[in-house]
Amino acid sequence: LSSNQSISNNTHTKVQFDTERFDTDNCYDNSTNYRFTPTVAGKYYIFAIVEVGLGASEIQFVQASIYKNGSQYKQQQQDHRNNNGLEFSVPIDSILTLNGSTDYVEIYAKGFTTGSNPNIISTVQATSFGAYRIGS
């Protein structure tokens, strides 16, 4: 992310990864749909880490999700309702079979706070996404 992304409290929101380090096959759309659509069929390792925070001790719950073709495929969460914090990172990964033409992958995040709407934190150490083919 080039800057923090504001999200609605307790709502699944697509992470708008708008900066690329490298994309050898031009499979990631970093300006419109924010999705990975590989052009070669196969098994892909998908990974992400999402950090959600407010800058105040109000974050209680953070969830990261991998979506395939618009539906939630896998989720990972951290629940800190008894130990609120400033920011929480949630890593997620999975191996998906993608057809190389119409299948796509997106990353979503959700944060729950007792205060105002949370942010997805933009530093690359906090929030990042990647994918690569591991086989046919």
- Please report which confidence band the pLDDT of residue 106 belongs to, taking 50, 70 and 90 as the band edges: very high
DSSP calls for 71-131? EEEEEEEEE-TTS-BSEEEEEEEEEEEE-SSS--EEEEEEEEESSS--EE--STTTSEEEE
- 126, pLDDT greater than 90: no
- 135, pLDDT greater than 80: yes
- Please report which confidence band the pLDDT of residue 134 belongs to, taking 50, 70 and 90 as the band edges: very high
For residues 118 and 4, give the distance between their C-alpha atoms in angstroms, rounded to a whole number: 10
Kindly report, residue by residue over 44-94, the tens digit of the pLDDT: 999 999 988 876 667 788 899 999 999 999 999 988 766 666 778 899 999
Kindly report, residue by residue over 16-53, the tens digit of the pLDDT: 999 999 998 999 999 999 999 999 999 999 999 998 88
